[in-house]
Amino acid sequence: MKKVLTLAVLYTFPLIAFAQTPTNLIGLISFAGDVANRLIPLLIAAALVVFFWGVIVYVAKGDPKTGTPIIIAGLIGLFVMVSVWGIIRIAQNTFGVNNNQIPNIPQVPQR
């Protein structure tokens, strides 16, 4: 648990370093969405690692009782995360809350 908490704190340090505090509710919601968008791929990658770890344990031990629960836990985690992600995406498309605008990229001034 300490490792997860340490990783979460270290992952948020760049966000703190930019010192962009939200000034209103819309800014706070946008900030929370940005954090979630950065964490979702990490969580999916973690579920994939758990799944493949279960496959490795299953093959290495040769006993279905040792690797099967790990594989099932990884698959359930992947299913839940991808399902919730898909439901949220469908709701966004249904209600027109898409945020697909390409942001302007800051450029270095030309001489």
- C-alpha 33/C-alpha 41 separation (Å) is 13
| Sequence-ordered list of residues with C-beta below 8 angstroms from that of 71, at least 6 positions apart, any chain | 51, 54, 55, 58
- Cβ neighbourhood burial of 100 (10 Å; 0-12, 13-18, 19+): exposed
Q: How many domains does the chain have?
A: 1
Output 2 or 82, whichever has higher pLDDT. Answer: 82
Is residue 57 situated within a structural domain? yes
Range of the domain at 73: 11-95
Question: What pTM does this model have?
Answer: 0.59
Is residue 108 situated within a structural domain? no
Is residue 106 situated within a structural domain? no
Q: Which amino acid is it at 21?
A: T
| DSSP 8-state code for residue 19 | T
pLDDT band per the 50, 70, 90 thresholds, residue 29:
confident
- C-alpha 78/C-alpha 17 separation (Å) is 32
Quick check: 5 pLDDT over 90? no
- Tokens 């809350």 belong to 97
Is residue 87 situated within a structural domain? yes
